[in-house]
Amino acid sequence: MENQQTLENPQNKVMSRRTAAARTRLLAGAGMLTAAAVVLQYLEFPIPLMPPFIKLDFSDLPALLGAFAYGPLTGVIIEFLKNLIHCAVSQSATVGELSNFILGAVFVFTAGLIYKKNKNKTAALIGGLLGAVAMGIISVPSNHFVVYPFYYNFMPEENVLAAYQKILPSMKSVFQSLLVFNLPFTVVKGLISVAVCMLIYKPLSPILKGASK
């Protein structure tokens, strides 16, 4: 019995070291990606053919990288930490950050879950596509029931609708505007992150996962 334990102990120590190293890589990688997401969330800019209060940023990209590298839950955690940190400078009493978290979590969790089941380029592409579509669909009720009602306290609903009508006069309601403008905008935003991720994930993978991977 003692001999058996003696033989097993070195193996246990090796496994323990490997587990500790993997945990360290995960914490370091997730921390680095969270920091990148925070910075990117500040780098937002308006785009043509959208109302001025809608801006584009690429802060979901690091969370998507984390979901592919470490699993869908890690991607969600990066989204949560990014928005938690951004709450310190929130201009919407954290309502915007809540919506951003919900949308980002849906995006990266969907993409990461599909990729986790079959880790290849096709699965990453399909996961990213479905995640972007899911994020776009969820953006409609999220904005309609959570974000915009808050902003109506400062900008009346008719003024919000007028901003959309300035671009497309045929808009009859804010809800219709969300379907025509925000849904495709959110999907495209997600697809841009997917496209960039597909280009940089492989070169970054040794850094995120460790050279041995």
pLDDT tens digits, 68-110: 999 999 999 999 999 999 998 887 888 889 999 999 999 999 9
Please say whether the beta carbons of 160 and 152 come within 8 A. Answer: yes
DSSP letter for 94, please.
T
Kindly state the percentage of the chain with pLDDT values over 90.
65
Instruction: Tell me which H or E stretch contains 46.
Output: strand 45-46
Instruction: Tell me which H or E stretch contains 55.
Output: strand 55-56
pLDDT tens digits, 171-189: 999 999 999 999 999 999 9
Residue 183: partners with Cβ closer than 8 Å, 6 or more residues away: 136, 137, 139, 140
Confidence of residue 145 (pLDDT cuts 50, 70, 90): very high
Write out the two tokens for 178: 């969300």
Where along the chain do its domains lie?
A: 2-45+52-209
Q: pTM for the whole thing?
A: 0.86
Going by CATH, does the domain composed of 2-45+52-209 fall within 3.40.50.720?
A: no
pLDDT tens digits, 34-47: 999 999 999 988 88
